[in-house]
Structure 1
Amino acid sequence: MTFKKTLIGLAAFAAFSSAQAEETLSVAATPVPHAEILEFVEPMLEKQGVDLEIRVFTDYIQPNIQVDQKRMDANFFQHQPYLDEFNDGRGTDLVTVTGVHIEPFGAYSQKVDSLDALKKGATVAIPNDPTNGGRALLLLQDAGLIKLKEESKITATPRDIAENPKDLKFRELEAATLPRVLNQVDLALINTNYALEAGLNPSEDALVIEGSNSPYVNILVARPDNKDSEAMQKLADVLTSEEVREFILEKYEGAVVPAF
């Protein structure tokens, strides 16, 4: 009887220890490629005792709010300039855990097949959030379509345009809606995650696209209180593993580039 009780006790202890070892990590992400990458690493984390919960968002605001309010542990959707702007504007203190990949920003059109073909007064749609809007304008400047004031940086807006030879008309819209208005404008500057969701191939369809040296690395973001947790570091490690590098290169064929 005593031996049986001991076995039961050991079994209960083992079950308890196993339950304790299983830690849940919730991560907010936009669908493509972020959630897809997280789904790829989910089995890798499970083997390390971490249960990854992925919650998909289609906007750039809620993932940060959810993490800041401790409803989620981390998020994966943004680059550092956007995070800096968000923290400054919202009074949050979110921090970078690790950089993962680059999504070269591109310009797309259903009406012209080259930037040279844009007519005078053409309508150009760009993201309405400060950093991505500025990023779009910087890409247009690099392409020679406009010239920004010298002090203009990532937070540039159409008001910072110093020279506009084609008299381009700018529409500032929510980033997620840009693929849907592509047939209503002459040119749209679209974040690669939204371009991929819309079935666009950035390496083939973009009229101009950032190079692989883009500074806008997409990052895993957390709070100061949990960024160094064991589960978070395990996630950071698998996101920057050779397996993920190969997954990104094979699946996205240059539309998404590893940053590690």
Structure 2
Amino acid sequence: MKKKDLLFSGVAALTLFLAACGGGQTTADSSKEAATSAAETVKIGVVSEVEVDVWKDVASRLKNQGIDLEVVQFSDYVQPNVALTNGDIDLNAFQHIAYLKDFNANNNSDITPIGFTYISPLGLYSEKVTDYKDIPEGAKITIPNDVTNGGRALLLLQAIGLIKVDEAKGTTPTVSDITENPKNVTFEELDAAQVARSLPDVDAAVINTNYATDSGLDPKKDSLFLDTDNIAAVADVYKNVVAARAEDADNATYKKIVAEYQTDATAAKIEEVTKGNDVPAWK
């Protein structure tokens, strides 16, 4: 065989070999691209920057399981459920069971909890006094205006002896259910997202932890009282959950997401970003 023919045969053979093998690095890159394109995208809605930090950490761990978790931040407690109901997102994780039940009842929806996340304290804050015992006669206090967080706020104020509410109302008393108010406190009910902003203008405010931390407050250092100081007394209905539409309650991918959330790695991240204020609810 001539040298020219030998050279052509060698080049042809090498070309076929590279085509079959993918050229080493090319094969690895192709496999990575295939895995990426095969990843299942799931959108989860949260409220507050703290929850974004926690869920992005979970999302980074889910990539190895072929799940691309996209974290969508909302600014209030209504839109994440509306978006879930409408199919704009697949899951949400921001609310406790009591709030979810009330939302379903009032909106004819069937959003379903599929796993616990954490218990977040509700706190009493003030820029006027440093001890809740010093709240003055005729004080003005702001509380969330939704029935579940508002009810929890009133139970907190009952726990410190400021008021008493009708026991028959359980975990959802309203201002009209106050039976004793010895200091003649007046209440202003605001959207939960607005309560922290009212703090300079009132004697005290009962603020959800996510909004407290987003406004620069440290619940353990800055609150006059946290209802989780006696966590055994905090009802299970105040445990936060991952929620899905009812038809997706048994979705295998969503179960993997819950399982990855309910790990020691997530508990450590919650401890880090909330400075120990939020407590894992799945343990």
Regarding TM over 0.5, the answer is: yes
1:63 aligns with 2:76: no
Q: Which residue of 2 aligns with 1:235?
A: 257
- The CA distance in 2 between the partners of 1:221 and 1:34, in whole Å, is 15
- The CA distance in 1 between the partners of 2:62 and 2:79, in whole Å, is 25
SS, match of residue 248 in structure 2: coil
1:150 aligns with 2:167: yes
Amino acid at match of 1:57: F
Structure with bigger helix share is 2
Superposed CA RMSD: 2.1
- The CA distance in 2 between the partners of 1:182 and 1:189, in whole Å, is 9
Amino acid at match of 2:122: F
- The CA distance in 1 between the partners of 2:223 and 2:208, in whole Å, is 11
1:247 aligns with 2:269: yes
Q: Which residue of 1 aligns with 2:70?
A: 53
- The CA distance in 2 between the partners of 1:166 and 1:32, in whole Å, is 37
- The CA distance in 1 between the partners of 2:261 and 2:92, in whole Å, is 13
Amino acid at match of 1:222: A
Amino acid at match of 1:245: A
TM-score (norm 2): 0.85
Candidates 74, 77, 92, aligned match of 2:94: 77
TM-score (norm 1): 0.92
- The CA distance in 1 between the partners of 2:276 and 2:32, in whole Å, is 45
**Mapping 1:119-158, distance limit 5 Å:** 119-158=136-175
Amino acid at match of 2:206: L
- The CA distance in 2 between the partners of 1:248 and 1:153, in whole Å, is 30
Contact 2:36 2:66 in 1 (8 A): no
- C-alpha distance after superposition, 1:57-112 (max 9, x if no partner): 01011100111111100001000000000000000000001101111100000001
- C-alpha distance after superposition, 1:157-184 (max 9, x if no partner): 1100000000000000010011111000
Question: How many pairs are equivalent?
Answer: 258
The structure number with the bigger radius of gyration is 2
Amino acid at match of 1:47: N
Unaligned residue ranges in structure 1 (runs of 5+) = none
SS, match of residue 98 in structure 1: strand
Contact 2:41 2:70 in 1 (8 A): yes
Q: Which residue of 1 aligns with 2:192?
A: 175
Q: Which residue of 1 aligns with 2:205?
A: 188
SS, match of residue 194 in structure 2: helix
Q: Which residue of 2 aligns with 1:198?
A: 215
Candidates 14, 18, 28, aligned match of 2:45: 28
Q: Which residue of 2 aligns with 1:258?
A: 280
- The CA distance in 2 between the partners of 1:256 and 1:79, in whole Å, is 13
- The CA distance in 2 between the partners of 1:63 and 1:88, in whole Å, is 16
Between 84-93 and 225-234, the greater mean CA deviation after superposition: 225-234
- The CA distance in 1 between the partners of 2:173 and 2:59, in whole Å, is 38
Candidates 235, 239, 244, aligned match of 1:217: 239
Between 30-39 and 68-77, the greater mean CA deviation after superposition: 30-39
Deviation at 1:141, TM superposition (A): 0.6
Between 15-24 and 94-103, the greater mean CA deviation after superposition: 15-24
Candidates 72, 97, 113, aligned match of 2:130: 113
Deviation at 1:19, TM superposition (A): 5.1
SS, match of residue 138 in structure 2: coil
- The CA distance in 1 between the partners of 2:269 and 2:31, in whole Å, is 36
SS, match of residue 182 in structure 1: helix
- The CA distance in 1 between the partners of 2:217 and 2:163, in whole Å, is 25
- C-alpha distance after superposition, 1:215-241 (max 9, x if no partner): 311111111222322221121011110
Q: Percent identity?
A: 38
Instruction: List, as ranges, runs of 4+ consecutive aligned residues in structure 1 with deviation greater than 4 Å.
Output: 3-8, 13-17
